[in-house]
Chains A and B, each alone.
Chain A
């Protein structure tokens, strides 16, 4: 009985350790995909003020472009771009921000 208990404990602990390692590797892979996705969103977004959102690559994404100050020079201004992702599988949230020269939002009639 003791041998059986030791054997089953070993198996259970090994499985738990492997499960944790798998979780860590998947979290790392997800963080890497999120970083590339956010970098892609920031780099390819049209530089116009506003809020955009969508779903891609296993993430809900949201890209917010806001003017950082009131001043504008020749129709352009400094904007802060913030990309936010929420993983559909794990629910983890990621955020990456930068500043960019952007144009004011199109005038609404």
Chain B
């Protein structure tokens, strides 16, 4: 009779080594999965914010300047803005909330709608920086910063600001508006502003 095989101690050692290997592998997979999830989350959030910034830029590109006395060209509130974009209904950006999600709805010049979910924020609002004032409404109401009721200023920047769960405000996108006339826009000598885009 051949007496070959493993002793009980060898078997136990082998089982322990295999157990450790499987345990390590499982833990490694778990950590891998967690890190991958965090990486994906960070990249998805960045992609969404890039799309938000790009979408806002597309809405106002080549449509400025927006003087404060021309509310027919641009009207802004904390929840969104409307901008004349060459069609009957103005283009718009509007914020809304649905089931703890903040959604930015963009209506493009071609009539298409894009809904973008703003991740990582509890709420969001727009703010408008003019050449003299900064606030949640455009055209800005007369204030101590611009005491003269008829004082004209031009919109400089549209900012989308998100509020996180701990109440901290963070700018999500900041879009600059052209302060000068676009090359295809004839300037009215009396008004000193754009008199309509050339076809």
Q: From residue 156 to 176 of chain B, which have CB atoms closer than 8 A to chain A?
A: 156-157, 159, 168-174, 176
Inter-subunit contact B174/A8 (CB<8 Å):
no
A44 to B173, CA, bound (A): 13
Is A56 an interface position by the 8 A CB rule?
Answer: yes
Across the A-B interface, how many residue pairs have beta carbons closer than 8 Å?
73
A46 to B52, CA, bound (A): 26
Q: What interface size band does chain B fall in?
A: 20 to 34
A14 to B24, CA, bound (A): 13
Q: Could you say which of A4, A40, A56, A57 has the most chain B C-beta atoms within 10 Å of its C-beta?
A: A40
| Contacts known (A18-B32, A57-B170); A8 close to B45, Cβ less than 8 A | no
Chain B nearest CB from A32 CB (Å) reads 6
Is B111 an interface position by the 8 A CB rule?
Answer: no
- Chain B positions within 8 Å of A32 at CB level: 46, 49-50
Inter-subunit contact B42/A29 (CB<8 Å):
yes
> In the complex, how many residues of chain A place their beta carbon closer than 8 angstroms to a beta carbon of chain B?
25
- Chain A positions within 8 Å of B173 at CB level: 36
Q: From residue 14 to 41 of chain A, which have CB atoms closer than 8 A to chain B?
A: 14-15, 18-19, 21-22, 25-26, 28-29, 32-33, 36-37, 39-40
Query: What are 6 of the A-B contact pairs (CB < 8 Å)?
Result: A14-B28, A28-B42, A29-B46, A36-B49, A36-B53, A44-B159
Chain B residues within 8 Å of A, Cβ to Cβ: 17, 21, 24-25, 28, 31-32, 35-36, 38-39, 42-43, 45-46, 49-50, 53, 127, 129, 134, 156-157, 159, 168-174, 176
